[in-house]
Chains A and B, each alone.
Chain A
Amino acid sequence: MKSLKTALHIWIGIASTLSFLGGWVMLAHSPKPVQPTQAQALVVSITPLPTLPPIQFFNNGFANNPIQNSIAPNPQPNPLVSSGVPLMRTRGS
């Protein structure tokens, strides 16, 4: 059991060392990142972003003409219309 544990330790040690060295070699041979010059950076920063098209809410183009709430809210808890029909309120549940 003890020899098995020792062998496991040695195997983990060798595998770790080889992996580390392999990674080192890979990074050493990979292309270096290009540092942008000041002029390049300026060009990038002033490139205009493309304009996104408006969201098409409904296929018939109704999205371009929503009913705006231009009517002043009518703060009356339970009003009645003139004919006596109660103005019921739909409010969500």
Chain B
Amino acid sequence: MTTRAADRPDSAERLAGRPAPPAAAQLKSRHLLGIAGLDADEITLILDTAEAMKEIGGRAIKKVPTLRGRTVVNLFFEPSTRTRTSFEIAEKRLSADTLSIATATSSVTKGETLVDTVRNLEAMSPDMIVMRHASSGAPDLLARICRSTIINAGDGMHEHPTQALLDAFTIRSHKGRLAGLKVAIVGDLLHSRVLRSNVLLLKTMGAEVWACGPSTLIPPGLERLGARPTTSVDDAVRDADVVMLLRIQHERMQGHFIPSVREYFALFGMTPERVRRAREDVIVMHPGPMNRGVEIDSEVADGPYSVILEQVSNGVAVRMAVLYLLSGREGRDDESPGEGR
């Protein structure tokens, strides 16, 4: 004998008498390809769910049975310890079966195309695929072709949605809100997917973003994306509520973007003096891994304003929230195969 959904003790209908918040809510897309596809309500839903997930990490037994029997594959075409570990822990905390495939080679050199690699994987019926890839748009390609739910763990220079979400979670936990904050993002803006995702999210949530870097590393159209571009780190940081640093890769010296990391640090590095121009209760963030002495002074990285390690721990909770909210929707006939159809 089955009970009607409406009669279940915690059903949406039962709780419908309450004014707010909604007893149940949903992400519109069955994939997480980027922040670009999310509206403010969906972002808030993910952050609120992450709140609940965070508590689980504080227990003695850090596990709930929610994704028991589900298989999640972490397909990482770019090396990453931090993000991959974070996803693995999140998956295991939800009792999912997790499998990590770290392929150092791209599809082209290996000979097997990305589509073939994933199709072969799909033949073994994973429920969700978490993918990091060096090419922008790789997850979009898969979402068009695959049945599994695709979660983008970073694609080329395009987006890194879970990073932006955990950054927002961290900011919100310190400031209580996102709207109206001044957020300064400093670093290699041109090549950064963390920048793009953060700008989109913060703009959607009503924050004011200043994006700062050398003019050679400012992407065209940045203002249209939603950030105020500047080459003055002082202007960016002045009265900022949040200062976020991005990596400068040593490779940027080829391509003539910067003459040296030494000069970059002199002009743009976050030193204690520069941080002092921000608000007294500023928080300093970095997606990691850090280049100490390049984009950030060690004193700042380890100082009282730094919330860098919190970001890491929040990452697990946010990823648990994303996995939970997207689970159970893979390959449903009633839903179209993904964005863009």
A, B in one complex:
no
Interface residues in chain A, defined as those with a beta carbon under 8 Å from any beta carbon in chain B: none
